[in-house]
Amino acid sequence: MALCAKKRPPEEERRARANDREYNEKFQYAVRGPRPPVPSSWVGKEGQSNCIKTSKYNILTFLPVNLFEQFQEVANTYFLFLLILQLIPQISSLSWFTTIVPLVLVLTITAVKDATDDYFRHKSDNQVNNRQSQVLINGILQQEQWMNVCVGDIIKLENNQFVAADLLLLSSSEPHGLCYIETAELDGETNMKVRQAIPVTSELGDISKLAKFDGEVICEPPNNKLDKFSGTLYWKENKFPLSNQNMLLRGCVLRNTEWCFGLVIFAGPDTKLMQNSGRTKFKRTSIDRLMNTLVLWIFGFLVCMGVILAIGNAIWEHEVGTRFQVYLPWDEAVDSAFFSGFLSFWSYIIILNTVVPISLYVSVEVIRLGHSYFINWDKKMFCMKKRTPAEARTTTLNEELGQVEYIFSDKTGTLTQNIMVFNKCSINGRSYGDVFDVLGHKAELGERPEPVDFSFNPLADKKFLFWDPTLLEAVKMGDPHTHEFFRLLSLCHTVMSEEKSEGELYYKAQSPDEGALVTAARNFGFVFRSRTPKTITVHEMGTAITYQLLAILDFNNIRKRMSVIVRNPEGKIRLYCKGADTILLDRLHHSTQELLNTTTDHLNEYAGEGLRTLVLAYKDLDEEYYEEWAGRRLQASLAQDSRDDRLASVYEEVESDMMLLGATAIEDKLQQGVPETIALLTLANIKIWVLTGDKQETAVNIGYSCKMLTDDMTEVFIVTGHTVLEVREELRKAREKMMDSSRAVGNGFTYQEKLSSSRLSSVLEAVAGEYALVINGHSLAHALEADMELEFLETACACKAVICCRVTPLQKAQVVELVKKYKKAVTLAIGDGANDVSMIKTAHIGVGISGQEGIQAVLASDYSFSQFKFLQRLLLVHGRWSYLRMCKFLCYFFYKNFAFTMVHFWFGFFCGFSAQTVYDQYFITLYNIVYTSLPVLAMGVFDQDVPEQRSMEYPKLYEPGQLNLLFNKREFFICIAQGIYTSVLMFFIPYGVFAEATRDDGTQLADYQSFAVTVATSLVIVVSVQIGLDTGYWTAINHFFIWGSLAVYFAILFAMHSNGLFDMFPNQFRFVGNAQNTLAQPTVWLTIVLTTVVCIMPVVAFRFLRLNLKPDLSDTVRYTQLVRKKQKAQHRCMRRVGRTGSRRSGYAFSHQEGFGELIMSGKNMRLSSLALSSFTTRSSSSWIESLRRKKSDSASSPSGGADKPLKG
């Protein structure tokens, strides 16, 4: 990759000529910057067309780029600067190796970690780029690697193969150039989709014909719109329009099609899949960013101390030092008191640099690594079914998990399993699906008897389960309404059936809803067996009956229903219709009113359980009316203008005065624990937004099922505007409704008064009631425009739940980026498909679900696991603990180092500002590496304030992390104030004692080495006692490290003052017996005890008073835990709350318009029966609430905090 390559200007249009590499290469497609023309053998080596790259480095760029990234950390630049100073002999008072060794160690460890991460990205890229594909070259199909595929190549795909690039479908093994694809990698939908070649190329199935094909495509430039394509094929002096229905996109999988040929239009980074994948970003936590600021502040403080001491040195040398020039001469280079002060300044910069030792950054990385292993080893986040553990794929973001305020979640495969189950039904006023015990009480799932036995039906699907035997009894007894109910389900659909062997039926449906309904009919004896363009064959209770298919009135988002018109063997014509209850109930005959009332009650009951409902109805047609209606339908279908409107009008006419049959209730199975997880995260004040590619109805249904939306909400606003003005107006009305409900917000202020004294966002936070916002993808595109994004954000943030439907992968990332831009909040994105990759990379934290849709989301994520429910444990336990531990670690680390370093500052006033150190050089070197490193590491890795069960039981404990209460600028200043206070006592108490103290033999106690030993010993004991007070969770490791470090200190101290070391290194260890003699004096020990008590007692007193007068929530929880232990009370479990109320349709929400017409045309028929493949709320402490209000009022961007209805 050329580092200085000139950027290629954006394309205005794409030109691709089939079988002409030389022509296509001159456009330099899919090349990042210009490259000279290369022979075909070079393609794929450098600048190749279809090569993808998600890695950050290569061999040449790794060292400079990685070092550049690492030196963006202010601390690393700071230590490099200190190293340079230490290499200057005139000012260096410490050896250079004390800085260079730890600096190189830190840089190396980080570089190795980054290189390892990037190695796996390279490995993944190579695996994809080296996949094999059949390319037509010089009239011969040749095996080529994906990365060698070029724009304009014709490639052959076979069944179940991934599509290598964005292709124009030329021909296939199916009639009329049809093929079937699965797009789970793109949009998360697992149902099959149909693509069709244009008629003029659909006959090019022969290699020789394809080799002669020289058509040229002129189309739109590369873009990220997955559902749109516009282009023209020029061939044989004719023009043929191209649309998205003719395209196969990279990431799709060919299904139920033996083979197909395609022309490469977009390759490599130009493909729509890669255009929707965000760039790999260098993520930093908020604590990292704060640390950079604090390091700058500390450096400023260090400079100030250096200036003060340098001025003191210059004055001392001028006033006092000149008197001692005879035996204390200046160095050769020093010729004045001013220059002596200048050198003294740099010497003190080196001596005092330990206020931020490099060991801090080593320790931070070790702690983060330990937290990552805890996540990897957590058995409660291990999925037994998939044998998949949780995985922390990065070690740098753990504490950020304890500060999340916004979660952006995909729906399909993340919240749901994308599995539809026929759960209940209502037939002729009777509800089926519930099981009752002998006392007449409804049986729960675990208490139910064996499922219904379908052994009477040899064609039944053995995977289908139903629990109410009375429905099967009604079928066997020949109840006409029940038979008609299942007859409708077996006829009114667009499902395709494939029979691989006798009796083995495989249904492939455009939507999982339809598949579930047809499978239910199959098991109850009405087996859809096969279809042709004009007939449907159903086995009814073992008898094969063929119906003549006269018309399919197709589904679309406006009609929200579909109908079929069939003629039975007796010649009777009947219309069967199924659709959304809100639509169909208005089209029933007035004679069904009584049945309608009963069915409506059943629908409300089903909706209250979160099920997706459909209403079924029929209508008999006489021959004469049908013929007349069919003629008008034909005319409408041939109309050149307003075809859709004319057809809708004709359909509307026949779909009236229908007779009600009943209703179905389908369960879109949520992943286990999703409602409980969302409820718990909501109690932790985390806002959850669902960003899904599914239709609005599907998303709303899932919102109710997982308890994001409830009937208790004041209103759910639905934004569906198609223009900027419509969207703006709908958002404005939503805000007005929220504010109208809170005109009197309390304290006697009206809304207008409130508005004059605060911002709009603050008013929206104060709204009464709970609201939700549902917005469609086309409306979201307008809402995300620069002049409207703030209005959208204000409205959305005032809602308890936000659901964005039909969004593209890039729109998902844009929504996340919008919240990041204007809200000072940590964001987390979670998804399972390739369509979620861009969102995962954009958020502060990306979580991948290892589910059904490949591993792209996992590869792009920071954390991964197999089920959504593990998110609560990741955040409320691991995230909260990581944040707590890191904050306590940093507070203690700054405290102990200021206490250690500031002693030098005070000593400077008593040593002529000569940059002499209080402690010997070995103590300075070992203080942060040996004496105090392991205890603080143990606290940073193992500490916890409350057990994991309490973290889950009291989600309000999570809020201090969101408010950044445990480590911020205020807490930092408190820490350094305590450190400075400790250093003052640490220096002046021994200094005052030693001024008059004597030894046991009456000689003067005071000498430099005895003073150094006393101060050092006092320091180690004080900081050890302090960490004992800070440790909230004691383990054997904590005890071993704290008391062991003290023991090691005394062992090393006595060793350095021993005869043995003196004999070996007489020039290094001159003070033989000093430690033994000093510590043998009772006065010294009394001084150490006095210093320790005076340093520690204020801390103990303050914490005692705070615990009794103003305890925080964790203190209260710990007290409650002690009480529970004494009383041995049992824990209460969260109850699952049912929901009653609004009905919602579940009709074919993944369905595509136009498939019915395709069936009737017969173009999708194979000669051999083709199948379309395919807890209770706990209040927070008042201090948290007040701080949250302060934070909201001081934020410089719109923020929302109110909560949560259906507004069309």
Distance CA 610, CA 424 (A): 12
20 among known catalytic residues:
no
CA angle 866, 867, 868 (to 5 degrees): 135
Q: How far, rounded to the nearest angstrom, does the alpha carbon of residue 1204 sit from its chain's CA centroid?
A: 22
Taking CA atoms, 927 is separated from 361, 383, 733, 1055, 1176, in Å, by 15, 44, 64, 16, 49
In angstroms, how far is CA 347 from the centroid of its own chain?
48
Distance CA 461, CA 454 (A): 9
User: Which residue type is seen at 1175?
Assistant: F
- Report the 10 Å Cβ neighbour count for 189: 23
Tokens 């399909």 belong to residue: 412
Give which of 53, 242, 227, 249 is closest to 162, Cα–Cα: 249
What residues does 133 pair with on adjacent strands?
144
Planar angle of CA 621, 622, 626, nearest 5 degrees: 75
Q: For residues 288 and 1144, give the distance between their C-alpha atoms in angstroms, rounded to a whole number.
A: 47
- 233's tokens: 């094929």
Strand 801-805 with 826-831, pairing? unpaired
Q: Is 885 in contact with 939 (CB distance < 8 Å)?
A: yes
Report the C-alpha dihedral over residues 401, 407, 412, 416, rounded to 10 degrees.
70
Residue with the two structure tokens 């409300």: 604
Please choose, from the candidates 918, 1013, 954, 977, the residue with its C-alpha nearest in 3D space to the C-alpha of residue 1134: 954
Q: Give the residue among 1186, 1189, 1190 at the shortest CA–CA distance from 1201.
A: 1189
Taking alpha carbons only, the member of 301, 296, 306, 314 closest to residue 348 is 306
Q: What tokens were used for 4?
A: 């200085």
Distance CA 694, CA 668 (A): 13
| Cα gap 86→415, rounded to integer Å | 57
Q: Provide the 10 A C-beta neighbour count for residue 147.
A: 24
User: How many CB atoms neighbour CB 644 within 10 A?
Assistant: 12
3-state secondary structure of 88: coil
Chain-centroid distance of CA 282 in Å reads 16
CA-CA distances (angstroms) from residue 680 to 128, 293, 596, 992, 1159?
39, 34, 39, 58, 47
The span from the CA of 1176 to the CA of 956, in Å, is: 12
Residue 774, strand partner residues: 718, 803
How many angstroms separate the first and last alpha carbons of the chain? 52
Q: How far apart are CA 39 and CA 155, in angstroms?
A: 19
Ranges of beta strands (E only) in 781-939 are: 801-805, 826-831, 845-849, 863-865
990 vs 388: CA distance, rounded Å = 59
Q: Which of 1143, 1149, 1122, 1009 is nearest to 1069 (CA)?
A: 1009
CB atoms within 10 A of CB 168: 26
Catalytic residue among 410, 468, 832, 836: 410
Vertex 683, ends 677 and 684: CA angle to 5°? Answer: 90
Active-site residue set: 410
